[in-house]
Amino acid sequence: MERVTEGARNSDWDIASAGHGPADARGSSEPPGSDEDPEFASDADRERRAAEPLRATWRPAGTTPPERPRRSGLKKFTSTFGWRAYLVPVLLVVTALVVWDTTQKPAPGDSASSSSPAGPGGGDGGAADSTAIATEIPAEKIRLDIPTAELPEGGAYSKTGEGTWHTVPLSENSGERAGDSGQLFTYTIDVEDGLDPGSFGGDDIFAATVEATLSDDRKGWAGTGDVSLQRVDDTHPEPNFRVSLTSPETTKQLCGDAIKYEASCYTSAHGRVVINLARWVRGAKAFSGNMISYQQYVINHEVGHALGNSHVGCDKDGGLAPVMMQQSFGVANDYVAKLNDLPGGDRDAVPADGKVCQPNAWPVPQPKGD
C-alpha cells in the first residue's frame, strides 16, 4: 500500500465528483482552487491534514477501471419488470389455446352436431343420430319387496306444533257434495297451529288437494256408491270427521308410536283424520318420489278408516295394492306383516304370503289411460 500524497487526494475528488469516491466530512467535495487546495490552505489546515489517517486508493496506481459487463436485452427486461416479465408469455399461451378451442366447436346447425335428416314427408321422425350419447340416467325405482318404511329424504318440515288446529275456510267453488248415493259424511279441513306453511305450500294448497281427492266420484270413495262426501267449514254444527295436517310430535301423541316409523292415522276419540306432516312433505319409498300420488293415497287411506274400513294386504301378486294396505310402510306382504307383529301392530291384517303389489292411491282404481 502506498502513501497518499496531496496529488492523490486531488484525484479522489475527481472520483467523488463522478459518483465513485468518498465525499469529505461536510458531505461534498471542493474542486481545486478552493480553500481545500493545498496551495491556498492555511497552516491550521495543513496541520489538520497531517494528522488524518492514511487512505488506500480504490485501485492500483497506473491502472484503468474495468468495464462493467453489459446486460442483454432479456436480462434488462426481466430486471426491470420482475415476475411480471414471466406472466406475459403465459397469458399469450392461454389466449392462443382459448382461441383454438373456440374455432374447433361447430356452429349451431352445423351438420356435425345436427340429427339425421327427417324421414319422408319432412316430419320429425328421422333416424336417430348414431353418435348421440345419453347424458342423463333415470332415477332407479324403489324395490318393492324390501323394507321401505323409512321416511325418504326430502324437504324440511316442522317437527312440532301447538297441539291445536284451525279450520281452513271454504273457497268460492268448494263445498259441493261428491256422490249422490249412500250415507253422507261431512268433513272439515284443518291445519295445526304453529306449522311452517313454506314446507307444505300453505293452508289453501293443502285444502285444495284434500277436497279434490275426496270429491273424485269415480276413483274416490264416492265412486264406490256406498258413501257421499261433502266439505263444510267451522260453522257446521258437528262434522263427521276432520282431515287435519299435523306435526310428527303431535301425531305420535294422537296415534301412538308402537311402530317407530312416521305414520298417519284416524283417531275416533278425537274425530280426526291425522295426516302426518313428515309424510305429507316426504312421501313414502314405495311411491318412488311421486308426491301427488302419495298424498292422494294417504288421504283416501286414512279417510277410509273414518268410513269404517280396516287394513288389508296385497291380494294379487303384481297387481295394484288395495288403498287400505299400509303402503306408507311398503307393498310387500312379508315386510308389512313383520311390522304388524310388533306390539300395537295389526297382526291379523296382512298375511306373510310373499305377495308384492304395485302402489295405488285410489279406492276404485281405473284402467290405465282412463
Give the CATH number of the domain where residue 221 resides: 3.40.390
Query: What is the structure's pLDDT at 146?
Result: 83
Is pLDDT larger for residue 24 or for residue 268?
268
User: Is residue 219 pLDDT above 80, yes or no?
Assistant: yes
Distances (CA, A) of 292 to 11, 51, 281, 287, 347: 104, 110, 10, 10, 30
Kindly state whether residues 197 and 319 are assigned to the same domain. Answer: yes
Is 92 among the domain residues?
no
Q: What is the DSSP annotation of 102-135? A: HHHSPPTT-TTTSPPPP-TTS-S-PPPPTT----
Is 72 among the domain residues?
no
Band (143; pLDDT cuts 50, 70, 90) = confident
- Please tell me the distance from the alpha carbon of residue 294 to that of residue 161, in angstroms, as a whole number: 23
* Residue 214 and residue 172 in contact, taking contact as beta carbons nearer than 8 Å: no
* Residue 207 and residue 243 in contact, taking contact as beta carbons nearer than 8 Å: no
* Residue 342 and residue 263 in contact, taking contact as beta carbons nearer than 8 Å: no
Is 294 among the domain residues?
yes
Query: What is the structure's pLDDT at 115?
Result: 37
The number of domains in the chain is 2
- Please tell me the distance from the alpha carbon of residue 24 to that of residue 37, in angstroms, as a whole number: 13
Per-residue b or e along 256-288, where b marks 16 or more CB atoms closer than 10 Å to that residue's CB? eeebebbbbbbbeeebbbbbbbbbbbbbbbbbb
- Please tell me the distance from the alpha carbon of residue 362 to that of residue 217, in angstroms, as a whole number: 11
Query: What is the structure's pLDDT at 140?
Result: 55
Query: What is the structure's pLDDT at 340?
Result: 85
Kindly state whether residues 40 and 172 are assigned to the same domain. Answer: no
Band (136; pLDDT cuts 50, 70, 90) = very low
Query: Helix (H, G, I), strand (E, B), or coil: what is residue 183?
Result: strand
Band (14; pLDDT cuts 50, 70, 90) = very low
- Please tell me the distance from the alpha carbon of residue 187 to that of residue 229, in angstroms, as a whole number: 8
Band (6; pLDDT cuts 50, 70, 90) = very low
Query: What is the structure's pLDDT at 144?
Result: 75
Q: Single out the residue of 365, 328, 335 nearest to residue 350, CA to CA.
A: 335
Q: What is the dihedral of CA 235, 238, 239, 245, to 10 degrees?
A: 70
User: Is residue 125 pLDDT above 50, yes or no?
Assistant: no
User: Is residue 11 pLDDT above 80, yes or no?
Assistant: no
Kindly state whether residues 42 and 172 are assigned to the same domain. Answer: no
- Please tell me the distance from the alpha carbon of residue 159 to that of residue 163, in angstroms, as a whole number: 12
The answer to which of 3-12, 118-127, 247-256, 337-346 has the lowest mean pLDDT is 118-127
User: Is residue 318 pLDDT above 70, yes or no?
Assistant: yes
The answer to which of 34-43, 200-209, 353-362 has the lowest mean pLDDT is 34-43
Distances (CA, A) of 213 to 178, 208, 240, 260, 369: 10, 9, 17, 28, 18
User: Is residue 176 pLDDT above 70, yes or no?
Assistant: yes
* Residue 361 and residue 323 in contact, taking contact as beta carbons nearer than 8 Å: yes
Is 227 among the domain residues?
yes
Task: Determine phi and psi for 190, rounding to 5 degrees.
Answer: -120, 155
Band (69; pLDDT cuts 50, 70, 90) = low
Is pLDDT larger for residue 49 or for residue 338?
338
Is 86 among the domain residues?
no
145 sits in which H/E element: none
User: Is residue 288 pLDDT above 50, yes or no?
Assistant: yes
Kindly state whether residues 175 and 297 are assigned to the same domain. Answer: yes
Domain hosting residue 10, numbered range: 6-51
- What is the average pLDDT across 240-260? 95
Is 57 among the domain residues?
no
Parallel/antiparallel/unpaired status of strands 272-276 and 227-231 = unpaired
User: Is residue 111 pLDDT above 80, yes or no?
Assistant: no
Is 296 among the domain residues?
yes
Band (257; pLDDT cuts 50, 70, 90) = confident
Band (341; pLDDT cuts 50, 70, 90) = confident
Band (81; pLDDT cuts 50, 70, 90) = low
Q: Single out the residue of 24, 8, 109 nearest to residue 58, CA to CA.
A: 8
Query: What is the structure's pLDDT at 130?
Result: 35
Is 349 among the domain residues?
no
The overall pTM is greater than 0.75: no
Is pLDDT larger for residue 65 or for residue 19?
65
Is pLDDT larger for residue 321 or for residue 128?
321
